[in-house]
Amino acid sequence: MFSTEQQLRYARHLTLPDFGPNGQKRLLESSVLLVGAGGLGSPAALYLAAAGIGRIGIVDDDIVDISNLQRQILHSTQDVGVPKTESAHKALTARNPDVNVVPIRKRFCDANARTLVRDYDLVIDATDNFQTRYLINDAAVLEHKPVVHGSIYLYEGQVTVFSPPTGPCYRCLFPEPPAPGTVPSCVEAGVLGVLPGVIGTLQATEAIKLLCSIGKPLTQRLLSYDALSMRFKTLRIQRRTNCALCGNAPSITDATTIDWFCSRDNDDVPSMTPDQYRQLLDRKEPHLLLDVRGKQEVSAGAIEGHINIPLDELAARTAELAGQENNLIVCLCQAGVRSRKAAAILQENGFKKVANMDGGYLAWLHKQPQTDKGESQ
């Protein structure tokens, strides 16, 4: 049944009680669709490949950025600028040549969601945005495929399995996405680098259990993990009979992208790119650079000549900007989200010339010459 190399590679599985040769054979004959090759997808993909999953499809349209490497262990420094699917294919094939790694350099979208899901035994949701989460869930329910879901925020993470009618789907827990602008991204809020490693590994564990029909999957339970207190908590979750997707009388009959964006507020705020701000500096045009990040963020690196007023203090401290009402104020934060809100606050308080730096301080760093990076203080 197994080649000599396979007997050696999977020796610890082959002698494992309640797993053995049959369990390994099932893994080699199984397929997993991994949506997202980032923080969660990296450990999940590595462990699934090491375990001998026969076919792993990896959907991601992004390229490797140096800021990914703090947590996305599937990629290395040499992969910066390379498509994540290409980097993943290289790493996973090197890990286990038994595995057929299928790189899918596309955005998971309406046009391909159900077709992709249909071609695999289960789906691992390793994404970081609500639009894709809902789309994965809807496509999987309609194609009768289980989803191993994971999510992270700051120091906490969650894992569960969606597999109606055995348990709930994502819409049973969250019928509607949160209002735009109410949930910060990992770019803005940050995330502990090892956290997705824990959650992604748990996702791989649940996938292997489902494929081999061993243990008790998290189909009606949500596992919550707090890294700071090192505590796990399990919550019971149930399918809603009135769910629009998996309920007794569903109204959703196809997988389409929900109408949701990170932020829709303050669309009338003028924007400025890092290149444009550099040109403004070169021309020595008078202006004020207002950094609205927290003091901790600013201490790690900032643009010379800034004034720091954190966003949550800005409304109460606009008096400190007296005399600047008719001058250009460029607002800056880590990724360009909080600074847009800051610019809107200034507009409401009579400041006529404001601009938001697109992409924030991270975009500024990317645009600096290599010798200058890390020197803006």
pLDDT in tens, 75-111: 999 999 999 999 999 999 999 999 999 999 999 999 9
Q: Residue range 284-288: average pLDDT?
A: 92
pLDDT at 189: 66
Q: Say which range, 6-20, 191-205, 252-266, 341-355, has the weakest mean pLDDT.
A: 252-266
Of 184, 218, 236, the domain-final residue: 236
Annotation marks residue 333 as catalytic: yes
Band of the pLDDT at 371, cuts 50, 70, 90?
very low
Q: What's the pLDDT tens digit per position in 165-205?
A: 989 999 999 988 876 666 666 566 678 999 999 999 999 99
Q: Residue range 119-130: average pLDDT?
A: 94
Instruction: Give the span between the Cα atoms of 21 and 8, in whole angstroms.
Output: 12
Residue 283 and residue 224 in one domain? no
Q: Residue range 353-369: average pLDDT?
A: 87
Residue 44 and residue 107 in one domain? yes
Residue 349 and residue 204 in one domain? no
Instruction: Give the span between the Cα atoms of 115 and 8, in whole angstroms.
Output: 36
Band of the pLDDT at 309, cuts 50, 70, 90?
very high
Residue 296 and residue 230 in one domain? no
pLDDT at 31: 97
Residue 189 and residue 306 in one domain? no
CATH number at residue 342: 3.40.250.10
Tell whether 106 is covered by a domain: yes
Annotation marks residue 186 as catalytic: yes
Residue 163 and residue 297 in one domain? no
pLDDT at 109: 92
Residue 280 and residue 230 in one domain? no
Catalytic residue chosen out of the listed positions 109, 186, 212, 243: 186
Which structure tokens are listed for 366?
A: 């990317």
Query: Helices H, strands E: what count in the chain?
Result: 15, 13
In three state form, how does the secondary structure of 118-180 look?
HCCCEEEECCCCHHHHHHHHHHHHHCCCCEEEEEEEECEEEEEEECCCCCCCHHHHCCCCCCC
Instruction: Give the span between the Cα atoms of 255 and 262, in whole angstroms.
Output: 20
Instruction: Give the span between the Cα atoms of 129 and 157, in whole angstroms.
Output: 15
Q: Residue range 299-312: average pLDDT?
A: 91
Phi-psi region of 374 (alpha: psi -120 to 50; beta: other; left: phi over 0): left
CB 191 within 8 A of CB 156: no
Band of the pLDDT at 368, cuts 50, 70, 90?
confident
Tell whether 372 is covered by a domain: no
Q: Is the dihedral of CA 230, 236, 242, 247 positive or negative?
A: positive
Alpha-carbon distances of 207 from 46, 124, 160, 162, 203, rounded to whole Å: 13, 8, 11, 12, 6
Residue 226 and residue 282 in one domain? no
**Range of 24-38, 248-262, 280-294, 350-364 with top mean pLDDT:** 24-38
283/367: higher pLDDT:
283
**Percent of the chain topping pLDDT 90:** 76
Catalytic residue chosen out of the listed positions 169, 172, 331, 333: 333
Q: How many domains is the chain built from?
A: 2
Tell whether 96 is covered by a domain: yes
Residue 227 and residue 296 in one domain? no
Residue 225 and residue 96 in one domain? yes
Tell whether 373 is covered by a domain: no
Q: Residue range 239-247: average pLDDT?
A: 93
Prediction pTM value: 0.81
Q: What's the pLDDT tens digit per position in 209-234?
A: 999 999 999 999 999 999 999 999 99
Instruction: Give the span between the Cα atoms of 192 and 196, in whole angstroms.
Output: 8
The domain of 31 spans 4-236
Q: Is the pLDDT of residue 367 over 80?
A: no
Tell whether 115 is covered by a domain: yes
**Percent of the chain topping pLDDT 70:** 92
Tell whether 374 is covered by a domain: no
CA gyration radius, the chain:
24
CATH number at residue 28: 3.40.50.720
pLDDT at 372: 46
Tell whether 244 is covered by a domain: no
In degrees, to the nearest 5, what angle opens at C-alpha 117 toward C-alphas 116 and 120?
100
Of 210, 236, 262, the domain-final residue: 236
Residue 128 and residue 198 in one domain? yes
Instruction: Give the span between the Cα atoms of 42 and 72, in whole angstroms.
Output: 6
- 136-172 in b/e burial notation, b at 16+ Cβ within 10 A? bbbbbbbbebbbbbbbbbeebbbbbbbbbeebbbbbb
Tell whether 85 is covered by a domain: yes
Q: Which helix (H) or strand (E) holds 116?
A: helix 113-118
When the pLDDT of each residue in the chain is averaged and rounded to a whole number, the result is 90
Band of the pLDDT at 134, cuts 50, 70, 90?
very high
Residue 197 and residue 288 in one domain? no
pLDDT at 355: 93
Band of the pLDDT at 142, cuts 50, 70, 90?
very high
| Strand pairing report for 31-35 and 55-59 | parallel
**Amino acid found at 162:** F
